[in-house]
Amino acid sequence: MMSYQLGYVDDRFEPAHSKAGKRFRPLLCLIATEAVGGKAERALRTAASIELLHNFSLIHDDIEDHDPSRRHRATVWKVWGESQAINTGDGMLALAGRLILDSSPDASVTLDISRHFQQMCLTLTEGQYLDMSFEGRDNVRSAEYMDMIERKTGALIAFSLWSGAYLGGAGEETRDALRVFGLELGKAFQIQDDIMGMWGSKEMTGKEAATDLYNRKKTLPLLAALERAGPEEIESLQKFFRCASDDAGAVFSILDATAARSLCEARRTAHLKSAMEALGRTAIDGGAREELEALAHELTGQ
């Protein structure tokens, strides 16, 4: 079932070559190792742990959100049921936790990386808790939302860069700058994902247009609109998100009237700028720097 999630087998355990996602988190880890002058091979186990951890979180998220499909295939719970899927995710988390303990031949480096890894896992679950708790509330502020995505999306991307730099031999300042680069990039990436979930076409996202809207997900565009809207507009938005209305057109009108999209775009750009500033505080230059910048732009649609 883990192999299925990773795209290596189909639902009858026959070999397959399914899409396994972008895998940009382990990639960022390996690039960070090279960017600070280390060999990427040194960080391979850590990079693999990161991708396993990410996939653990996807298996459980899909159950929690009742998502029937991912990467054009049925989700693990949809194929084998919720109970087996919960357990498969647990096994994958344990596997990631085992593998991270082989991060480095140096015991103290391995311990330090492993402690940050487990702390980050805990942070992920805090983010997931907040995300789910927002579903039952209609007064979520955009600041709370940013705190949530920092934990749910930012922490793992920050860890990817931080640990890669660590294994490449970077000092504390460089590691910390790359951690901030990852955290800010993670936030910009999530906001871009939110923008696409509201305004992206099927050609751009591979999903139906306005998926987030029809799933009544309270993403940043909506929260931004709520903060700028008048009483009647708020009433109208809340009606839609309580499923008491199906008038998506009305929602889009309010998003337009409150300039929610340009607010989201400005925030995304600001976080991307912060990420680049953090990168600028390091001595990383040349090809490695270009690679990190290109990946950051790609991930944020810039």
* Closer residue to a second copy (CB): 10 or 65: 65
Question: Could you tell me how far CA 204 lies from the centroid of its own chain?
Answer: 18
Beta bridge partners of 9: 15
Residues 6+ apart with CB under 8 A from 173: 281, 282
* Closer residue to a second copy (CB): 107 or 243: 107
The encoded tokens of residue 218 equal 């309270």
Helices (H) and strands (E) in the chain, counts: 15, 2
| Main-chain dihedrals φ then ψ at residue 69, nearest 5 degrees | -140, 155
Q: How far is the CB of 287 from a second copy (least distance, A)?
A: 35
Of 11, 126, 176, 293, the one binding a second copy by CB under 8 A: 126
Of 22, 115, 141, 216, the one binding a second copy by CB under 8 A: 115
Beta bridge partners of 277: none
Asked whether 26 and 50 are in contact (CB, 8 A), the reply is yes
The amino acid at 228: R
Q: How far is the CB of 264 from a second copy (least distance, A)?
A: 26
* Closer residue to a second copy (CB): 83 or 302: 83
Of 119, 253, 262, 302, the one binding a second copy by CB under 8 A: 119
Of 3, 19, 69, 90, the one binding a second copy by CB under 8 A: 90
Site of tokens 């311990």:
111
Residues 6+ apart with CB under 8 A from 274: 180, 184
Asked whether 276 and 9 are in contact (CB, 8 A), the reply is no
Cα 178 to Cα 120: distance, rounded to the nearest angstrom: 16
Q: How far is the CB of 211 from a second copy (least distance, A)?
A: 19
Q: How far is the CB of 114 from a second copy (least distance, A)?
A: 6
Q: What is the DSSP letter of 282?
A: S
Of 46, 75, 110, 300, the one binding a second copy by CB under 8 A: 110
With vertex at residue 111, the alpha carbon angle to CA 40 and CA 277, rounded to the nearest 5 degrees, is 55
| Main-chain dihedrals φ then ψ at residue 70, nearest 5 degrees | -155, 140
Q: Which stretch binds a second copy (CB under 8 A): 19-27, 121-129, 183-191, 229-237?
A: 121-129
Of 3, 69, 84, 201, the one binding a second copy by CB under 8 A: 84
Q: How far is the CB of 70 from a second copy (least distance, A)?
A: 17
Of 114, 160, 163, 236, the one binding a second copy by CB under 8 A: 114
- The answer to whether residue 79 forms part of the interface with a second copy (CB under 8 A) is no
Binding site for a second copy (CB under 8 A): 60, 63-65, 82-84, 86-91, 93-95, 97-98, 101, 107-108, 110-111, 114-115, 118-119, 121-122, 124-126, 128-129, 132-133
